[in-house]
Amino acid sequence: MQVFGLLGNPVEHSLSPPMHEAAYDALGMDARYVTFEPAPEDLAAAVEGARALGVAGLNVTIPFKRDVLELVDPDPLAERIGAVNAIDLPEMRGYNTDAVGAVRALREHGVDCSGTAVVVGAGGAGRAVAFGLADEGMAVRVANRTAERAEELSADVGKAATAHPLDALPDLLADADVLVNCTSVGMEEDRSPVPAGALHPDLAVLDAVYTPPETRLLRDAADAGADTVDGAWMLLYQGVAAFERWTGREAPVGAMNDALRSGL
């Protein structure tokens, strides 16, 4: 039996276990997906313990995506982003599939990842999305509440990115092609981080928030005639990328998506 898992704290509400186990069932694999919830001071021991037990791959979630960098050999993209969310345990190699997940979520919805993207938020998700879109050749405008974090991210991404305050969003979006919300705004309240009047029909809007599936931002974007992509698609495709890296098999995307949507 192959064993894969999730490393984080907390993990009890994660949708990764049913999503990955649906993939194993669909392909007839003898595999299981388990969870590890160590205290921060026990992170290294948890990773080594999972490896000693023969666990083949680990997803990594909050609050360990940055700390685990010191324990693995990150691939170039993960090193640039400064975060790992998937580990090949036999090789102790770390990857970041959040960037891949965001780009694929957009592409699978017919979005041409070219032109200009506005990324709202400069935290972990914002970093992954900014690097992912810049690597696709997009000009990335990072808007964040704290100017210093936006400036740090844009400097890390390089010449493709610029930093801006949140109040610049109407001007930034006027000629933008893609908007990605990477903040938590909209998760617990019916609020949007983006003024509704700044949205327009030529935009594609991805909200990384996936609970609720239809956020205030996505409703406002649909009303403005923009194309919308909910955050569960990003969650799905980062999981798909991890599954395919660990197993070398094409992921049963439909089965994984059905399990994810049922969990939501």
Q: Which residues are catalytic?
A: 65
CA 174 to CA 189: how far, in whole Å? 26
Cis peptide before 195 (omega within 30 of 0): no
Instruction: Please say whether the beta carbons of 24 and 51 come within 8 A.
Output: no
Q: What are phi and psi of 78, to 5 degrees?
A: -60, -40
CA 254 to CA 263: how far, in whole Å? 14
- Name the strand (E) or helix (H) holding 179: strand 178-181
CA 90 to CA 243: how far, in whole Å? 15
Amino acid letter, 6: L
- Sheet containing strand 116-120, edge to edge, reads 161-165, 139-144, 116-120, 178-181, 204-207, 227-229
- Sheet containing strand 86-88, edge to edge, reads 31-36, 2-7, 57-60, 86-88, 93-95, 73-74
Query: How big is the chain by its Cα radius of gyration, in Å?
Result: 18
CA 27 to CA 256: how far, in whole Å? 11
Closest CA to 183 of 197, 169, 170, 171: 169
